[in-house]
Amino acid sequence: MLKITIRFIMLVTSFVALQSCNSTDIIENNDIDPKLRKIISAKNDSLVTAMTTSNLQIYYALESPEYKKHRQTSRVRPSNLFKKGILKQQYKVYDEFLVTNTERYVETGVTSKKHGYTFTFRNDKPQSFVSLLKVTGYQFDSVIAVTYGLTDEGWKIYAVDAFGFGNWGLSSADYYRMAKQQDEKGFLINAYIYARNASDLIDRSENVKLKWNERDDIVAYAKELEEEVYDKYTFPVVLHRVHTKPTIIRIEPRAILNEIVPGVSYYTNISVTETEQLNQEREVIKRELKNLFKKDMDLNASILYRAYNDPDGQGTGTYMVDKNKKSR
């Protein structure tokens, strides 16, 4: 009995020691040495310049041999987001993490308490600096995660990953929050629009490196509101009180005027080239939407109308917009 007890104590002691050796120390944002943050900031500026201009000399100065090989052979290149005009050369630091782990090549997750996501990376060096940059796009913003490792030659890049973020500075988590606010106000349609957009922005891959902590809640909430909308309203809906008898085909999120708005697609027998007549019809449709959706839709918010001459809403359509009468 005594031998078993001693052996058990030795096993527990060894396990605790092992855990201690493999412990990970994470420092984030303002708790990181300002001098180090300034060094990384300069490197981030150079990296964004290199991705925008394809300046190889800048790349060579920043990257580790491992990342250089990956950059030259990988088909997935974050720099293409700049080259194709999706992203602008404008960014802000979203979060930063200084991670120390004496054991190398370990999958480590860093969680942002402020922004509600977890980013998982592999440490190539005992000390890593993870810089997450929110990069401005023309419609869709991205997060670029840059993983540096401390080498004998200073901080070098070991990985650059790009992820979808949201629209015009707002993330899927932000749109989820906005959907909840609209829901509380009783605007079911507007809540659904924001929730659907939040859900559409979510990457559902199981092995995604950047995962929003509320991902499952966002997807489930959008599904819940969608079912509620389509249980309450059966599309297509013919507006019999309008003399042209237009038919509402669907309502879905649309990106316009630097915001996400309800997009009302409808069938009309007025040619989509007859702009003046369509605008007159739209005014009548807008009044009828108030009768149709009652208090479920905020008609003071921006609305995008798209008229089709195809009953299924296919082919060429004409856009018309009612601008927002109040700030977001």
Q: What is the mean pLDDT of residues 200-217?
A: 89
Q: Which of 277, 269, 274, 273 is nearest to 245 (CA)?
A: 269
Cα–Cα distance measured from residue 262 to residue 254, given in angstroms and rounded to the nearest whole number: 6
Cα–Cα distance measured from residue 181 to residue 194, given in angstroms and rounded to the nearest whole number: 10
For residue 23, what pLDDT is reported? Answer: 79
Q: What angle do CA 18, 20, 25 make, to 5 degrees?
A: 135
Q: How remote is the C-alpha of 184 from its chain's centroid?
A: 23
Using the predicted structure, report yes or no on whether residue 85 has a pLDDT greater than 50.
yes
For residue 139, what pLDDT is reported? Answer: 85
Q: What is the mean pLDDT of residues 295-315?
A: 92
Q: What is the mean pLDDT of residues 59-85?
A: 92
Per-position DSSP letters for 55-78, written without gaps between them: -HHHHHHHB-HHHHHHHHH-S--T
Q: What is the mean pLDDT of residues 80-96?
A: 93
- Per-residue pLDDT reduced to its tens digit, 166-198: 998 899 999 999 999 999 999 999 999 999 999
Is-cis flag, bond preceding 34, omega within 30?
Answer: no
Residue 203 banded pLDDT, cuts 50, 70, 90: confident
